[in-house]
């Protein structure tokens, strides 16, 4: 400490220059950062549900999709509507990376003609748009098991599906395709009266994810800077102090993101909130040092004020930075890589902010003139007087405050059971995203927006030709279609039955699975041959004909309902369809549904480890088991209260919210450490009793705690401006936790000290403790 103070006193310019050189070297790595548009980055490569999903895509074709939802005021079954659909289908083939376009107009209709099976597009080039022909198509489509997927039940909306082959070595392929699709709609279809086109699919979901990151970085970060500037100026009344703090914030963020770039990091929405969080942590460190510096300026010269402020705050800031980093590093127990990155980056940011606060900030203060307003200020300011009265009241009436605080705590904690684990990625976006409007439309007009997919194994190559396999698949399909919440079932048994009926003169009595293996094989072969250009069965049947793909489209279900349905489907198949080797249900919806529960279990372990480490550090630092144990209450209670309040008003815990408890532990402990450090200093160094020590803590650190909590709460609260629910939900929950932490530290913690640390310290305690 003495060496640091001497260096700051003698060579402040050198300290500042070295700090800036290190930060600039790190910040150069920013050029290597990229924003990702892949939802799969949310999942670890060892995630069992993701592995099952990738195995499904390996067995069949990977299904990257883009879908047009086309709404017609006059309905789909009108001449102008059908012509517009054909035009959009033809134009879609010209988009990059498209391998197949499936729609109502090019749906392959098979039927018997002169002892032959004829397959032709439902609305071909030669189609005659008479009222009779259009009515016949309408009747066929709405009553056909497969063709009906392309038209809404009310006949107002049609669906055009584009199957894509996106190159894995081109990170810009998704953005290129979506931009081309949007341009196509704008150029050729935006001026058509009575027509509205919306887009969805995996590429739209991914590009919306990227756009969410870009919006957060461009909107929230500048507003947070403005917030910090205004709040700090109002509270500190020092322009130089505000600018120094903003400098530390900027340098800390540049260092963190630059280091992430040097490591080849990928920016996801979770990482997109890192600047805001680093900003808040950096502000907290600066405020504690600056408040003490301005306090000492009233009676000391500048360098003495800097020295005393550093000596008083160095250890508390070091401990809070380390404990904050420990809490955040325990996010490495999370099941989701982006939130592990979030924890690691903000933990690194906490350490960088601490180092800048004890080097760059004092160097700036040493070089800048003393603010005259601060120097001439009175110790008896209104805020100071209010804080002193609060400390006096709490220390004199500990039981009253403990009872009141306990009632409030019990009330909010009792609301915890109202929360439900549920991760529905379609709810991540608000109405400002086009995909949200499209998903609402699909859920209301079509068959839902969620999917469960299965690989249905026949047990051997060519096994799908077995009549018993196909009959069991048809039985499972019929059972699925009768289940609540199920919208549409895509199954390979449907075209087999359709072809077999066509082979028998289109007699509806033969809409069934053939009785012989040969007839099943013939039906499959004829179906494959009947498909037009660009369409094949590789998305439905694997190469060696040993398995088929079963897709179940669902209306909005909670995560628990989705998992329960998957279990029920597999149990039914096991009992009633013994020839089917049904895989575990998969798809991104299933992966998301499972990850919240898995993540909760993982972060509970991380939180327990973080709590144990932080408690050990506090016991060691304060050299008091009693204070270490007392500190557990204000460190644990705020997050429980915040989750309880969330249960009252929201009630849904998703992946992002499941990590807040662990994250907040490293943040709320800061105020506890600063309060207890000043309390311990008063008891040991100033020889005060418990009442005087509590009042001293309020006088010396109460205002800084209030200011930092206000900045923390407002900073996290600004995340509410995000249009991406994991970001704003995490911000609101963290802000709520910070507010509850301040209340607990001001009202409950002093009462606990009076109740359990009232006795005068013994000589042995005084001798072994030197912490200040």
Same domain, 613 and 577: no
Residue 171 to residues 45, 206, 216, 336, 471, Cα–Cα distance (Å):
19, 12, 21, 21, 43
CB 703 within 8 A of CB 248: no
CATH of the domain at 158: 3.30.70.1320
> Could you tell me which residues are beta bridge partners of residue 582?
456
Same domain, 162 and 93: yes
Same domain, 398 and 473: no
Distance CA 421, CA 415 (A): 14
Domain count, the chain: 4
Distance CA 517, CA 167 (A): 39
Range of the domain at 410: 383-414+588-772
Same domain, 556 and 478: yes
Residue 583 to residues 468, 566, 598, Cα–Cα distance (Å):
18, 10, 20
pLDDT in tens, 372-427: 765 444 444 677 788 888 888 888 888 899 999 999 999 999 999 998 877 777 78
- Mean pLDDT computed over 716-745: 89
pLDDT in tens, 674-686: 899 889 888 888 8
pLDDT in tens, 479-513: 999 999 898 999 999 999 989 998 888 889 999 99
pLDDT score of 771: 42
pLDDT score of 86: 94
Alpha-carbon Rg for the chain, nearest whole angstrom, is 33
Distant-in-sequence, close-in-space partners of 316: CB < 8 Å, separation ≥ 6: 288, 673, 674, 677
Q: How does the average pLDDT of the chain come out, rounded?
A: 87
CB 772 within 8 A of CB 686: no
User: Cα–chain-centroid distance for residue 362?
Assistant: 38
pLDDT in tens, 110-168: 877 766 777 788 898 889 999 999 999 999 898 887 888 899 988 999 999 998 988 87
Residue 700 to residues 291, 371, 696, Cα–Cα distance (Å):
9, 20, 6
- 37 is a domain residue: no
- 393 is a domain residue: yes
- For β-strands 450-457 and 581-582, DSSP reports them as antiparallel
pLDDT score of 767: 52
Distance CA 41, CA 47 (A): 11
Same domain, 246 and 170: no
pLDDT in tens, 430-459: 888 888 889 888 888 888 888 899 999 999
pLDDT in tens, 520-540: 999 999 888 887 766 778 889
Q: H helices within 79-130, ranges in order?
A: 79-92
Structure token pair of residue 764 = 């042995």
Same domain, 660 and 675: yes
- 294 is a domain residue: yes
Same domain, 323 and 357: yes
Structure token pair of residue 386 = 């209010």
Residue where one domain finishes, among candidates 329, 351, 377: 377
CB 215 within 8 A of CB 723: yes
- 38 is a domain residue: no
Same domain, 202 and 323: no
- 332 is a domain residue: yes
Q: Structure pTM?
A: 0.79
pLDDT in tens, 42-71: 788 888 888 888 888 888 877 789 999 999
Residue 617 to residues 638, 668, 699, Cα–Cα distance (Å):
20, 15, 25
Residue where one domain finishes, among candidates 587, 619, 640: 587
> Could you tell me which residues are beta bridge partners of residue 101?
162
- 424 is a domain residue: no
Same domain, 496 and 596: no
Structure token pair of residue 116 = 């032959």
Distance CA 357, CA 324 (A): 15
- 215 is a domain residue: no
Distance CA 713, CA 120 (A): 63
Q: Which long-range contacts (CB under 8 A, 24 or more apart) does 33-36 make?
A: 33/257, 33/260, 33/261, 33/265, 33/266, 33/267, 34/171, 34/266, 34/267, 35/210, 35/213, 35/214, 35/266, 35/267, 35/268, 36/209, 36/210, 36/266, 36/267, 36/268
CATH of the domain at 598: 1.20.1640.10
Residue where one domain finishes, among candidates 190, 207, 224: 207
Residue 17: pLDDT over 60: yes
Same domain, 593 and 668: yes
Same domain, 318 and 399: no
CB 317 within 8 A of CB 285: yes
Same domain, 516 and 611: no
């Amino acid at each position: 400490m003495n060496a640091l103070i001497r260096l700051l006193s003698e060579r402040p310019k050198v300290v500042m220059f070295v700090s800036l050189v290190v930060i600039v070297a790190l910040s150069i790595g920013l050029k290597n950062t990229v924003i990702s548009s892949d939802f799969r980055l949310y999942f670890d490569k060892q995630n069992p549900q993701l592995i099952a999903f990738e195995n499904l895509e390996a067995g069949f074709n990977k299904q990257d999709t883009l879908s047009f939802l086309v709404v017609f005021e006059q309905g789909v079954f009108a001449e102008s509507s059908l012509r517009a659909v054909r035009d959009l289908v033809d134009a879609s083939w010209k988009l990059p990376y498209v391998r197949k376009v499936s729609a109502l107009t090019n749906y392959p209709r098979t039927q018997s003609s002169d002892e032959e099976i004829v397959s032709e597009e439902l609305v071909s080039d030669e189609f005659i748009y008479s009222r009779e022909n259009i009515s016949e198509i309408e009747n066929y489509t709405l009553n056909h098991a497969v063709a009906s997927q392309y038209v809404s039940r009310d006949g107002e909306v049609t669906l055009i599906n584009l199957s894509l082959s996106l190159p894995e070595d081109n990170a810009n392929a998704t953005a290129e395709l979506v931009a081309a699709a949007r341009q196509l709609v704008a150029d050729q279809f935006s001026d058509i009266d009575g027509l509205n086109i919306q887009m969805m699919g995996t590429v739209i979901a991914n590009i919306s994810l990227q756009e969410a990151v870009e919006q957060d970085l461009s909107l929230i970060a500048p507003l947070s800077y403005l917030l910090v500037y205004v709040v700090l100026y109002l509270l500190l009344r020092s322009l130089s102090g505000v600018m120094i703090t903003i400098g530390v914030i900027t340098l800390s963020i540049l260092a963190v993101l630059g280091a992430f770039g040097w490591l080849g990091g990928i920016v996801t929405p979770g990482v997109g909130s890192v600047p805001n969080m680093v900003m808040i942590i950096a502000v907290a460190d600066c405020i504690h040092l600056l408040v003490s510096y301005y306090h000492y300026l009233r009676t000391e010269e500048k360098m003495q004020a800097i020295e005393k402020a550093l000596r008083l705050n160095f250890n508390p800031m070091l401990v809070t930075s380390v404990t904050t980093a420990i809490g955040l590093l325990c996010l490495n127990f999370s099941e989701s890589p982006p939130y592990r990155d979030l924890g690691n980056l903000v933990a690194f940011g906490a350490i960088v902010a601490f180092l800048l606060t004890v080097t760059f900030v004092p160097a700036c203060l040493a070089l800048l003139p003393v603010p005259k307003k601060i120097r001439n200020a009175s110790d008896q300011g209104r805020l100071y007087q209010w804080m002193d009265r609060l400390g006096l009241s709490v220390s004199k009436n500990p039981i009253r405050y403990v009872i009141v605080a306990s009632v409030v705590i019990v009330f909010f904690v009792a609301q915890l059971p109202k929360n439900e684990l549920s991760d529905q990625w379609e709810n991540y976006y608000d109405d400002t995203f086009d995909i949200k409007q499209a998903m609402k439309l699909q859920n209301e007009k079509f068959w839902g927006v969620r999917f469960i997919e299965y690989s249905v194994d026949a047990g051997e190559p060519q096994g799908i030709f077995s009549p018993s396999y196909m009959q069991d698949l048809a039985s499972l399909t019929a059972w699925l279609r009768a289940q609540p919440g199920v919208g549409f079932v895509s199954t390979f048994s449907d075209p087999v039955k359709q072809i077999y009926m066509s082979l028998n003169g289109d007699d509806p009595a033969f809409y069934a699975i053939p009785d012989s293996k040969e007839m099943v094989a013939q039906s499959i072969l004829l179906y494959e041959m009947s498909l037009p250009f660009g369409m094949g069965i590789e998305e439905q049947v694997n190469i060696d004909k040993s398995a088929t793909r079963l897709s179940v489209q669902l209306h909005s279900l909670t995560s628990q309902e989705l998992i329960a349905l998957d279990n029920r489907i597999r149990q039914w198949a096991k009992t009633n369809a013994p020839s089917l080797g049904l895989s575990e249900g998969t798809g991104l919806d299933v992966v998301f549904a499972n990850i919240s529960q898995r993540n909760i279990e993982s972060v509970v372990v991380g939180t327990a480890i973080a709590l144990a480490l932080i408690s050990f550090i506090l016991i060691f630092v304060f050299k008091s088991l009693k204070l270490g144990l007392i500190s557990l209450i204000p460190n644990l209670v705020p997050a429980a209260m915040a989750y309880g309040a969330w249960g009252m008003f929201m009630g849904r815990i998703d992946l992002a919210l499941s990590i807040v408890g662990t994250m907040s532990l490293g943040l709320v402990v800061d105020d506890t450490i600063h309060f207890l450090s000043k309390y311990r200093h008063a008891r040991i160094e100033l020889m005060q009793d418990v009442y005087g020590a509590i009042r001293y803590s309020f006088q010396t650190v109460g205002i800084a705690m209030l200011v930092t909590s206000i900045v923390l709460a407002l900073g996290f609260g600004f995340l509410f401006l995000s249009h991406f629910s994991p970001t704003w939900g995490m911000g609101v929950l963290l802000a709520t936790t910070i507010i509850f932490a301040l209340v607990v530290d001001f009202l409950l913690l002093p009462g606990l000290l009076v109740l359990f640390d009232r006795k005068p310290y013994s000589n042995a305690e005084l001798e072994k403790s030197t912490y200040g």
